[in-house]
Structure 1
Amino acid sequence: MLKVLTLIVFTVAVVSSIPAGPTNDPLVVQTTGGLVRGERLSCGLLCNYSSFKGIPYGKAPVGELRFRAPLPHEGWEGIREANEHGLICPQNGILFGSNADDEDCLSLNVYSPNLNRRLPVMVWIYGGSFSSGSGNSFIYGPNFFVGEGVVLVTMNYRVGALGFLSTGDENAPGNYGMKDIILSLKWVQDNIANFGGDPNDVTIFGESAGGAATHYLILSPEAKGLFHKAISQSGSAINPWAYQPDPEAVAHQLAKDMGITFTDNADLIRQLREAKPSEMNHATPGMLDYPIPRGHSAIPFVPSLDPANVAPEERFLPEEPIVLMNKGEFARVPYVTGFNDGESLFNILEDFLDPNIWDYYNSQPEIMVPRTWNVSKGSDESISITNDISQFYFAGRQLSRDVRYQYTQYNTDLMFAFGIDQTANIHASIQDEPVYYYKFSFTGALNLVKQLLLLQNYPGAVHADDIPYLFQITSIPAPLLPNNPAIIMRRLMVRLWTNFAKTGNPTPPNDPIATVPWQPVDGDQQYYEIGTVVFSGRNPHGDRMQFWNEMKYKLH
């Protein structure tokens, strides 16, 4: 009897020592908005994690809150079930789903391998040209990250006109989508400890527009202190598509396309606040509506300068990105940045979608000159740069289907690589913290974008081909054997990224997976080749980046 009583006392003591949420349910967690209940999910053999989806972090940005910085969510009563994603923000598209008009979309998702630890936190910012996307696990499944012992957070933020329309004045200051991300990072600071994360060890990372957004957060004074490391994949604030220099003109064009007449910007914004989101999205130009050369100038609704003196609005971007960079006015944190070697391979298909593309280029070849360089058309400089580009990429030939691949190389460099190369150089030259620079060139079974676009006959990794090497994508592709080269590369990519989040070094000593040391940039453009062969080298796209730097140098 004594033994039985002792066993009962021991069992009660053990059970009572298991940490639990406020309701003695270990999957109920306290947040600043209220209680949430998650679920326990599997991430593989002997691997599971706690999942909390659709947690509101911002108040619905409707009515007078449209075209304003977000406000924290007002909270809820009782326990909120957190087993389903929140609504995506209004957008057009099929990849991420479609939400026409419901703007109550500011929510986030938390995936934690252990609610009772203080683990490094990684906050993912999705891409989608600042006009579409979501943080949902359909594409950004957390399995591989939580399996490496980090807490992963993803969020939804406003996109398109609702996220970035600006009149350049107090009526609509702009950058609401970026301010959403900042509010979500503040939520992380206030709440992530209750989910097993360390608020003092937060890494932000993103791809494409998400990579540019990550860079913008580094540059923004409003984001300082909210993160401690950063990774930009295939995106920089100084890529030509990522910064809008004339947002007021874009806002006025949207009004024209919607049939809105207005007396001033205050009247315009009043009317746009009464319009349905779907009406704005349908009137916003799509990729094929952009002027040729597509991607060489700003996407209509992307980050722009915040006007001064618009209190109480926070001023997200006080000066142009390149100005802030050259002044050294940015968060000096350990930074990874890089690009895929075939970013613009998708341009192979451009002439199928627009048969007039080659005639347009050949009739006015000076459009190959980067617009952001502000070189006058017809000037000696413009003609010289045009001839240099023609000789370097096309051997002086006119553009046609015969040089389609060279055309994609030109676009890769102009739209992505050159700006990212500059970003790595400038940050590394100013800050003491390490800057790690990479080129992703691996081609394998998980290069899903390349396969989807039927580009397997061309070398290199196309834009977004790196995503499946980091995230679990629901039901795609069919399971691969553990010794498949793509699975081996995925293990390496996830390990590099999580090593960086944990230590600030992607290849710390004695790592059994990331065995090739990755040297930070130190004056000679060190970079890391992530390909069939992994190595540390110098000057990715060496002669091509040298060509762009020499052209740029001629203008100064």
Structure 2
Amino acid sequence: MMKVLLLLCAVASGALADHLHHPELCNFYSSRKLPVVVFIHPGGFYSFAGRSDLFGPHYLLDRDLVLVTLNYRLASLGFLATGDAVAPGNNGYKDQVSALRWVKRNIAAFGGDPGKVTIAGCSAGSRSVILHMISPMSKGLFHRGIAMSGSPVGKAAVPPHQLDLAQKQAALLNCPTNSSRAIVDCLKTKTWQEIGNSLNGFWTGDTDAVSFWTAIVEPDVGQPRFLAVQPDEAVRQGHLHAVPLLISQTEDEFFWKAFAVTKNKTRRDRMNTEWEKIAPVSFALPEQNSSAASRRLRQAYLGGKPIEDTPESSRALGKLYGDSWIGLNVHRMANLMCRHSPQPVWYSVFSYIGNNSFYQDPTTHKPRGAAHHDDTIYVFSESYLRPPIKARSPPPPAPQDHLMVERMTAIWYTFAKHGNPNPRKGELPELCSLHWPAMQPEDRKYLKVDQQFSVHEKLHENRLRVWDELYPMQY
């Protein structure tokens, strides 16, 4: 079987060097061009990378496709946005665009089909995938999308700047904060190591936020703009590069953040007594009416009861963390896309709990839920955390995990090849039980990925209704 070629594209200063174009490396590949998957890594726009020890190709090597991973500038190096011509913002996204342009120009030399490119991402990478569907800079650079556990549409509009983060970055490095020019001129005198090493300073006091940096709607100061309109508005108006889309979340997402509260008496007591102060930060609530929203969410998720060190309280608080950071955003984007995109949208929830997880119980050392990023475990080898799931010879050490690897990589492959996750007759026997209907506005079906595939409808909609009441959005 044809092997996957892993091509690691590194971005520096927003440009990709064409010296990576070496056709002689690939002349042993078939003249038949293979579908291409470009993976955009997660990490809240401040961490992770496209390195093979983080997101390795070893499971996808069994599929006839070309895998590309990429790096992009992170945190203040990639997302400093002062709201003016000094730092208009979105440089990290523009790095990704540079990578996609490189792929279009060069991937044929590595056995890939430049007319069959799938962009895929998890968390921050998933938000990136959706924004590439909206950005005019990315039009024509890809043909399908896979968005796992992330969306740029949430409780509030995308901001026009993040001057507060620029000022915080400046203060952390003893730079002036009185103007955009003073901030940027001073930061330019700092090394990338100094900027990187200051990262922990963004988490202070009661802050247990998952991430800070985000896309911004760029001011028009003469530069090419990655994002010029609100994402939900762009989708509603049909101003998007519509492609077939797989969009998903995990069953439990950030449930584990609850344990840091319920298992710690000091934090538990503080959150109970200072709920209206802490909740807006912990659950990324807009400033306007945040106290009233906090009270309403406490009633909806916790029944108005104090947080306790009990399984019930941990479960309820965990759902609130998961929905506030991921679940609501994915729900909204899936509903927007199925209503306004002319291309099909397939929605799913990853509920499988295997032998590995990004959250392991500290006592049993076993998974307790399908956490944020857990779906990536069955698409990529992640050797920095665990040995590979797939054994080199049968029988595999964890047969159900091995089967999940086969199923997840088969879904990615058939989607990248055909633009539809459902297998064609006679292809991919590991997907013989998969009958995944596209999501429709009035028939909101989704696939539950667990030990078996099953189709359901209206994913978590009863639970998410409170968010629609607090933060209404037109679909």
Q: Into which bin does the TM-score normalised by the smaller protein fall?
A: 0.7 to 0.9
Question: Which residue in the other structure is 1:258 paired with?
Answer: 173
User: Is 1:350 matched with 2:350?
Assistant: no
Q: Please report how far the alpha carbon of residue 472 of structure 1 lies from its aligned counterpart in structure 2 after TM superposition.
A: 2.1
Question: Which residue in the other structure is 2:371 paired with?
Answer: 462
User: Is 1:513 matched with 2:430?
Assistant: yes
SS at match of 2:102: helix
CA contact (8 A) 1:206 1:233 kept: yes
Judging changes above 3 Å, is the alpha-carbon distance between structure 1 residues 112 and 171 closer, same or farther for their aligned structure 2 residues?
farther
Q: Distance in 2 between matches of 1:411 and 1:306?
A: 29
CA contact (8 A) 2:347 2:446 kept: yes
CA contact (8 A) 1:232 1:338 kept: yes
Question: Which residue in the other structure is 1:376 paired with?
Answer: 289
Question: Which residue in the other structure is 1:420 paired with?
Answer: 330
Judging changes above 3 Å, is the alpha-carbon distance between structure 1 residues 173 and 541 closer, same or farther for their aligned structure 2 residues?
same
Q: Distance in 2 between matches of 1:317 and 1:471?
A: 30
Q: Please report how far the alpha carbon of residue 281 of structure 1 lies from its aligned counterpart in structure 2 after TM superposition.
A: 2.2
Over the aligned positions, Cα root-mean-square deviation in angstroms equals 3.2
Q: Distance in 2 between matches of 1:504 and 1:144?
A: 20
- Matched ranges for 1:295-314 at <5 A: 295=210, 299-311=211-223, 314=224
User: Is 1:409 matched with 2:316?
Assistant: no
- Matched ranges for 1:183-332 at <5 A: 183-239=98-154, 246-261=161-176, 264-285=179-200, 288-289=203-204, 291-292=206-207, 294-295=209-210, 299-311=211-223, 314-332=224-242
Q: Please report how far the alpha carbon of residue 237 of structure 1 lies from its aligned counterpart in structure 2 after TM superposition.
A: 1.1
Q: Provide, for residues 318-338 of structure 1, a one-character-per-residue CA deviation record: whole Å limited to 9, x for no partner.
A: 123333233332221111111
Question: Which residue in the other structure is 1:476 paired with?
Answer: 387
Q: Distance in 2 between matches of 1:112 and 1:468?
A: 32
CA contact (8 A) 2:23 2:110 kept: no
Which one of 302, 307, 312 corresponds to residue 394 of structure 1?
Answer: 302
The aligned amino acid for 1:499 is T
Judging changes above 3 Å, is the alpha-carbon distance between structure 1 residues 240 and 376 closer, same or farther for their aligned structure 2 residues?
closer
Q: Provide, for residues 90-142 of structure 1, a one-character-per-residue CA deviation record: whole Å limited to 9, x for no partner.
A: xxxxxxxxxxxxxxxxxxxxx99935321111000000111011111112221
User: Is 1:496 matched with 2:404?
Assistant: no
Judging changes above 3 Å, is the alpha-carbon distance between structure 1 residues 112 and 202 closer, same or farther for their aligned structure 2 residues?
farther
Question: Which residue in the other structure is 1:128 paired with?
Answer: 43
Q: Distance in 2 between matches of 1:219 and 1:138?
A: 31
Give the TM-score taking structure 2 as reference length.
Answer: 0.87
User: Is 1:157 matched with 2:72?
Assistant: yes
Judging changes above 3 Å, is the alpha-carbon distance between structure 1 residues 49 and 465 closer, same or farther for their aligned structure 2 residues?
closer
Stretch moving more, 386-395 or 367-376: 367-376
Q: Distance in 2 between matches of 1:236 and 1:112?
A: 39
SS at match of 2:456: strand
Q: Please report how far the alpha carbon of residue 304 of structure 1 lies from its aligned counterpart in structure 2 after TM superposition.
A: 1.6
Q: Distance in 2 between matches of 1:238 and 1:517?
A: 28
Judging changes above 3 Å, is the alpha-carbon distance between structure 1 residues 390 and 257 closer, same or farther for their aligned structure 2 residues?
same
Q: Please report how far the alpha carbon of residue 473 of structure 1 lies from its aligned counterpart in structure 2 after TM superposition.
A: 2.8
Question: Which residue in the other structure is 1:71 paired with?
Answer: 15
The aligned amino acid for 1:410 is L
Structure 2: gaps of 5 or more residues: none
Q: Please report how far the alpha carbon of residue 551 of structure 1 lies from its aligned counterpart in structure 2 after TM superposition.
A: 4.5
CA contact (8 A) 2:127 2:150 kept: yes
Q: Distance in 1 between matches of 2:171 and 2:212?
A: 14
For CA contacts below 8 A with separation 6 or more, give which structure has more relative contact order: 2
Which one of 162, 166, 169 corresponds to residue 81 of structure 2?
Answer: 166
Q: Distance in 1 between matches of 2:367 and 2:60?
A: 31
Q: Please report how far the alpha carbon of residue 387 of structure 1 lies from its aligned counterpart in structure 2 after TM superposition.
A: 4.5
Q: Distance in 2 between matches of 1:391 and 1:555?
A: 25
SS at match of 2:270: helix
Judging changes above 3 Å, is the alpha-carbon distance between structure 1 residues 196 and 418 closer, same or farther for their aligned structure 2 residues?
same
Percent of counterpart pairs with the same letter? 27
Q: Distance in 1 between matches of 2:139 and 2:52?
A: 28
SS at match of 1:401: coil
Count of equivalent residues:
460
CA contact (8 A) 1:171 1:269 kept: yes
Q: Provide, for residues 212-235 of structure 1, a one-character-per-residue CA deviation record: whole Å limited to 9, x for no partner.
A: 111121121111111111011111
Q: Distance in 1 between matches of 2:323 and 2:176?
A: 40
Q: Please report how far the alpha carbon of residue 554 of structure 1 lies from its aligned counterpart in structure 2 after TM superposition.
A: 10
The aligned amino acid for 2:289 is S
Q: Please report how far the alpha carbon of residue 252 of structure 1 lies from its aligned counterpart in structure 2 after TM superposition.
A: 1.3
Q: Please report how far the alpha carbon of residue 535 of structure 1 lies from its aligned counterpart in structure 2 after TM superposition.
A: 0.8
